[in-house]
Structure 1
Amino acid sequence: MGYDLSGIAWRKSSYSSANGQCVEIGSGLPGIVPVRDSKDPAGARLVFGEGAWTSFLAKLNADHPTAF
């Protein structure tokens, strides 16, 4: 399924370093979370369901509690 991601706002985590090697997430599309590489903003994008993204973040936080 394709999504029109042309008008969304992208943001990086406040934990991102200045070296530009991070991911950005898009906001403003209900029920999905688009993700892209900050070094290649015009490149490929992954789109996750909101529930899958929430589960992913919960697992990261459980495994690395000081990272967030």
Structure 2
Amino acid sequence: MDTEEDDQAQRRAIVAQAIANVRARGLEPHPQVLALYERYAAGEIMRDEVQAVMQARAAAIEQGNREQKGKRD
């Protein structure tokens, strides 16, 4: 195996573990998250890009939750 194949195999293993961790909590990853993970596994984006997108996604979800709570109060 060459380095690129090794890197891709390692990225795929990281993705598989991340998905397994989510499912172990009884949850299912969102399709957009799975697509993001696939792009990472394929080598299209780097880990720091995945982290940035996931952080932005979490912030947007948190903001939406705050807005919903404000409407109920």
TM norm structure 1: 0.41
Higher relative contact order (CA 8 A, sep 6+): 2
Bigger Rg, which one: 2
